[in-house]
Amino acid sequence: MYNDDPDWRYFMKRILITIALLGAATGAVADEFTVGFNWEGLKLCTSGRPNTVGNPVFQLNDVPDGTKWLYFELTDFDALGYNHGGGWIEYDGAEMTQADVFRYKSPCPPNGTHTYEWSVTAAPTQSLSNPLGVAASTLSYP
């Protein structure tokens, strides 16, 4: 199925982000949904063999009304075919998430610095079929 293809998943994620940005640009969204994070506390990994680790703390701003769940996904722009995974966090209205709620494969570029993006999809249910908004934050590692 298409959603198992990393290129298709990347393409669909870009479409969701574009839709969210177009909504914001046309005034459909009152405030901009944003997310922030850092690599603080992450064990250095440059072997190309990622560790399975708990999620970082995420800073959330202007999460869309009606959000009950947030889906986080890590993408390596220098290795789009690699699935780092992500996970769901039930949204309780807080501006900061807890660390270690879900597990994912850490950044671990074998040849220098890579650019990574955490994307966050806000949803009313634990499903990506009816997103309320998408936010993304990009950082290099290491």
pTM (predicted TM-score): 0.80
Residue 125 confidence (pLDDT): 98
pLDDT tens series, the chain, 142 aa: 445 566 655 655 665 555 554 444 444 445 899 999 999 999 999 999 999 999 999 999 999 999 999 999 999 999 999 999 999 999 999 999 999 999 999 999 999 999 999 999 999 999 999 999 999 999 999 9
CA 106, CA 51: separation in Å to the nearest integer?
A: 5
Phi-psi region of 44 (alpha: psi -120 to 50; beta: other; left: phi over 0): beta
CA 56, CA 136: separation in Å to the nearest integer?
A: 14
Residue 27 confidence (pLDDT): 46
